[in-house]
Each structure stands twice: as structure tokens, then as C-alpha cells.
Amino acid sequence: MDKVQLEERVKELNKLLHETGYAYYVKDQPLVPDAVYDQYLNELIAIESEFPNLIYPDSPTQRVGGMILQGFYKVPHTYPMLSLANAFGRDDLDDFDRRIRAAIGDDFSYVCELKIDGLAISLSYENGVFVRGATRGDGRVGEDITENLKTIRSIPLRLKEPITLEVRGEAYMPKKSFIALNEFRVENEEEKFANPRNAAAGSLRQLDPKIAASRNLAIFVYAIGGDGEAYQLDSHAQALDYLDQLGFNTNPERQTCHSIDEVQQYIEKWTDKRLDLPYEIDGIVVKVNRYVHQQDLGFTAKSPRWATAYKFPAEEVVTTLLNIELTVGRTGTLTPTAILEPVQVAGSIVGRASLHNEDLIREKDIRIGDTVIIRKAGDIIPEVVAVVLAERKEDLPAFKMPTHCPACDSELVRIEDEVALRCVNPQCPAQITEGLIHFVSRNAMNVDGLGEKVIEQLFREGLIHDVADLFTLTKDQLLELERMGDKSASNLIAAIEVSKQNSMERLLFGLGIRHVGEKGAKILSEEFGDMKSLAQATVDQLTVIHEIGDKMADSVVRYFDNEEVQKLIQRLDTLGVNLSYTGKRVDLTNLDHVLTGKTIVLTGKLEKLTRQEAKEKIEQVGGTVSGSVSKKTDVVVAGEDAGSKLDKARTLGIPVWDENRLIEELN
């Protein structure tokens, strides 16, 4: 190609990429297969890198992320992002303080901080350079939102020291920006954001970083991810000062307190002053200061024992109860929901609240038409606190539960010692759809992209009647549904296909057998190994299992003793759904592995396995993973940038493995 031809080709590629990119990313209506798009792009990149004078300022290769993001990549967190246990008043605080004293004695201090109402973010730096930012996600795996985070000015792109570390913080939208944004949205006839937290989260989940850039977000960094001791720090207060020095934005209102009374004073001060802050806070975080103490206290499955989040008392407001709606759950239970005149409570508009069951309605004597006081329990879930009787109109009738199912009209029954009324018709459409929704939900078969609305449509259209039907769906069938694009249909089919490989416990949990929760499903799957053996089990065989009670055993046997169920299992099998437990069986007495019964400490960054995967694999062979190195540690597995734990292992003469050795031994 001569110079003129080359220039022509570049112009042409620019045009092609703009057109195909727009169709694909903006309109979600691809003009060409992805491979063709990639081919154009690669050709352009190749020419541009050789002839930089041909890079047009608006070349698709020069965009800030924007058009090229089609979604967010998932990123496993090196250290899980946990949440905090809550404290709702002085009693909870005293309990927290007592538990700590019982574990570590009286000689310690707390650090109190404002609990910023935004979203948790993890930021990774390599040699001082910001390389990745992620959302919390499920705590183990988040979403890579680096490009959007780069638009937040208070996130340093380069630190003052060339160090490698991960930090945690809260991204938020200042009150002023929130108000301005909502005003702008009203003017443009767009929907308002309910509160600054949603606005911040919504901004960071935009595929076009320019939107995030226009939203004036900010961040406060509140911790080092993982082991602070690796950075020669002794306490949380020191860590915050160090983060300050590195160039991060930490919240200046933190305070070290030496007693729970002092903590209480800090809380009282901010309960009054919080309205004056330029950002929203929803409570106070109280943390035990020194790392040695934190390590002694350790973690529960969900949260550290060394910290708690004090939540400000819920705001209560008055509104009118317009109706009581009854919904039928997957087990047939009827749940009443209060339909309210929408009101603003604690940062969002509330129009519904669960009333739980008939007893609650009777106890509080709640009647349609009443003036009621509502609040958000734990600041999240709306609830009806009480009726304002003084305002009751004279002849309001008491509320009566129906006698027949609102979904299928069959007669409702009250099962002995249960409060709830129940529809026992196995063909009830409401129960079936709820069951299907449960089946595909995250903790069950986890079918990405299959939401309630789609399930309801599929059922209404007669495309699915039971869970096995899901695996017979075709792309063409999906395309018939409202608002289902080509791409979503393909993705959905792929997600259903992948879900077939789930280990048995997910399927078992998904079937929704009464009394079989996630944990029960896991235990049963481990014990029986596959669905067909479980289906044969007797009550006696089940109840000998530790942690399986009579109720669950009985329910399992009854469930499988049904021809329809047996046919269903057979169909799932024929359709290629995995019926076996694929996580290895852990039975310490039968295991004979070098790591069986051993205590292993993982430190530094692992390349091939996530921490969680490594932990699971070690546990499968009967090993235990511990957080700190001591004389009792048998092996330390050190990844990249291992810090003080590695040093300690060496001092104590504990064997140190690298990740490859671990993988080798596990295999």
C-alpha cells in the first residue's frame, strides 16, 4: 500500500469501527460478528502504531474506555471484602465491648470513624501505580470498574511511594452533587435517584466513564486490604496516617477512644452533627485499634469480631395504608404486604412494606385505610411500626384473610402450629413461578440473567412448567419474549447450559424441598454423592447424619417418594444436568494426604488460585487454613510480595511452599 492508500484505509477503518461499534455497544444490535469488529480494530491498531501521524484524535483506539467496555470483568478479591455486624443502641455496644474484653482483656483502644454511606471499593496499586479498582460484589469476587474510578479525583493514580498494596474505601456522592444531579435529571425528564448511595453506585456502574466523570464522586479510604503488618504497621490508627502520607483521602473525623463511654460520646456528637456534613453517613464504625488485638479476635464467617457498625436510629414517618396485597410464595405460604401512600423515609421512597403474617396484622390491628407509622428496620427494610388509632375513621372494618388462594382460587389451609395460611395446590401458578425463580437464583443454580420477569413470561407463555423445562429452551423461543434481544437470548442460553455443571448441592437446594436450606443441601450432597442415592435414602439413613434432624429427613423422604419427582430427576439427567456432588468428599478418616490435619497459612498474592479456591481445596483434603503464623503452623504458602508472615515462618523454621508446590501437592 502506498501512502495515499494507507490513509484511505485508515479513514475507512475509522468509519467502519464507529458504525459497527455504535451498533454493537450502544444499540445492542450488532452489524457484524465480534471477530470482524476485532479484525478491523487490530488492523487499525497495527497501522497506528507504525504511523502515529495517522492517529486521528477521535480514533476508536483513543477512547477513554467508553465504547470499548461491553461489561465489567469479574475480579476475585485477594482478600475477601467482608461487611460489619451492626449495633443498634447502647445495649448492643455494651455487648460488643464485653465480648472484646472477654477475649483480649482491658488494655486496648478503639478507633471511631464515620460510616460513609456510599459503596465499598477496593483499589490496587502496583509499585505505586493505580492498576485496578473493583466493587465489593459478593465479597469474594467484584467487578472491575477501574476506568470509572480513574475519573474520581480523590483517588491517586500514583502514590508517593512506589509500593504495592490494596486499599479499601467508600466511594460516595457529596450531598451537593446529589442535589444538583437530581435537579438536572428532573429537567431532562429522567428518573431521580433515591439517595446519594444509589446515585454513586449507578454512576460507577456506567459503561461510559465519561458519565462517572461528570458525577463528582469522591472517596474516603478506610483500610489496607489484607495484612497491615506487612507494611510495618502496628495499628489501624497508624494505617490511616500512613494512607494519608501515601496520598489517599482519609476521613479526618476519626478519633481514638479508650472506653465504650468515650465511643458513646463520639456517637452522640455525630448523631447531632451529621446533618451538617457535606456527605451522608449512616452510622459510626467502631474498630479495635491494634492489629495484634484484631488478630486475637479474628473473624466470623461474615465479619470481623473486632469491629461493629453503630447504626443511627431509624427515622419514622406517617402515611396511609392503601391496601393489603397477598402474595403466594413457593411453598404456598401467603404473605401480606402493605401498599402505602409513597413517602420518603431514610433516604428513599417507600410504597410497600411486608406485614409478615396474619398474626402481625391482628396484633397491631392494622386496617386498610389506617394512618400508619413506618420506618426502615436496620435502615433497609420498610416496616409498619404501629397504627395511629386517634386518626382511624369510625367504621373501618378489621382486616380478614381470604379463604381462597388469590392465584389459583383453591381453598387455603392452616397447617398445625404454623401461623401462615397456605395454598396446598401443587399446580398453583404462583407457587410454580416462585419455585422457578428460586431454582435459578444466585445461591441455587445461579443462572445469570434469568430474572423474575423473564421467568414469569416463560411460564405465562407456556414455555416452562417445571425446572427441567428450563433446559429445553431454545434461543428462538426466548426471542419471542418481550424485550429480549438477540444477544441477551444467546447469553441466557449459554448461562442455562453452564448451570448444568453445578455440583449437586445447588440443584438440591434449587429444588426447594421444605426444610432443606443451603447448608442442609450441602451436607446431604456430600453424604450421598448423587441425587439418585439420596432419592433412595430412608429416614433412618438420613437422621444418623450429624446435623440432619427429623424434620429435614422426613421432608426429603416424602419429597422423593413421588412419581412426579422421580420423573423430574430422570428428565434432568437425560437433559444433561449434573446430578452428582463434584466437590471432593471430605471424610477425615478416609483421607490420606500430606495436608490432612495440617494447618496452612496463605500469604502474599497467589497467581493461579484465588484465596478462596486455595482454601476450599485445602479443606477438601482435610487441611485447615489459618490467618496467622504461629508454632502450630505446619506449612506457609507464600505468593508474590509475601510480607511479615513469610519472615515469621522463616524465623520459626516452618516449611515454606510456593503456589506451584501447593497445586502439585493438592493434585
For residues 260 and 92, give the distance between their C-alpha atoms in angstroms, rounded to a whole number: 11
Q: How many CB atoms lie within 10 A of CB 385?
A: 15
Dihedral pair phi/psi, residue 386, rounded to 5°: -165, 165
Query: Do 297 and 100 meet the contact criterion of CB atoms below 8 Å apart?
Result: yes
- Give me the helices (H) in 420-549, please: 429-440, 452-460, 475-479, 486-499, 504-510, 518-528, 531-536, 539-543
Least separation, in Å, of the C-beta of 80 and ligand IVH?
9
Q: What angle do CA 218, 220, 223 make, to 5 degrees?
A: 150
Grid cell digits, residue 12 = 475507512
**Shorter beta-carbon distance to ligand IVH: residue 169 or 639:** 169
Query: Do 308 and 93 meet the contact criterion of CB atoms below 8 Å apart?
Result: yes
Q: What angle do CA 82, 85, 89 make, to 5 degrees?
A: 155
Locate the DSSP E strands across 146-234.
165-172, 218-224
For residues 170 and 222, give the distance between their C-alpha atoms in angstroms, rounded to a whole number: 8
**Shorter beta-carbon distance to ligand IVH: residue 47 or 307:** 307
**Shorter beta-carbon distance to ligand IVH: residue 225 or 429:** 225
**Shorter beta-carbon distance to ligand IVH: residue 294 or 599:** 294
Grid cell digits, residue 407 = 392465584
> What single string gives the DSSP state of each residue in 576-620?
T---B--SPP--GGG---TTTT-EEEEESB-SSS-HHHHHHHHHH
For residues 312 and 378, give the distance between their C-alpha atoms in angstroms, rounded to a whole number: 9
Least separation, in Å, of the C-beta of 388 and ligand IVH?
34
For residues 278 and 199, give the distance between their C-alpha atoms in angstroms, rounded to a whole number: 15
Grid cell digits, residue 291 = 492489629
For residues 444 and 457, give the distance between their C-alpha atoms in angstroms, rounded to a whole number: 21
**Shorter beta-carbon distance to ligand IVH: residue 40 or 270:** 270
Residue with the three cell numbers 438536572: 184
Query: Is 210 known to be catalytic?
Result: no
Grid cell digits, residue 605 = 498474592
Least separation, in Å, of the C-beta of 220 and ligand IVH?
7
Give the length of the chain: 667
**Closest-CA residue to 307 (of 208, 215, 211, 222):** 222
Residue with the three cell numbers 426429603: 556
H or E element in which residue 291 lies: helix 291-297
Least separation, in Å, of the C-beta of 303 and ligand IVH?
6
Q: Which residues bind ligand IVH (CB under 6 A)?
A: 82-84, 113, 115-116, 120, 170, 222-223, 285, 303-304, 309
CA distances to 15, 51, 67, 328, 466 from 58, in Å: 11, 16, 12, 55, 52
**Shorter beta-carbon distance to ligand IVH: residue 79 or 559:** 79
Per DSSP, 105 falls in state: -
Question: 660 exposed, middle or buried (CB, 10 Å; 0-12, 13-18, 19+)?
Answer: exposed
Residue with the three cell numbers 503488618: 229
CA distances to 111, 168, 290, 648 from 297, in Å: 16, 20, 11, 20
Grid cell digits, residue 191 = 428518573
Grid cell digits, residue 155 = 483517588
Q: How many CB atoms lie within 10 A of CB 268?
A: 11
Query: Do 353 and 374 meet the contact criterion of CB atoms below 8 Å apart?
Result: yes
Q: What angle do CA 173, 175, 176 make, to 5 degrees?
A: 105
**Shorter beta-carbon distance to ligand IVH: residue 115 or 330:** 115
Residue with the three cell numbers 436496620: 378
Q: How many CB atoms lie within 10 A of CB 363?
A: 9
Return the residue nearest ligand IVH (CB atom). 120
Task: Write down the catalytic residue from 3, 15, 74, 115.
Answer: 115
Strand order of the sheet with strand 255-257?
86-87, 307-311, 281-288, 110-116, 255-257
Active site residues: 115
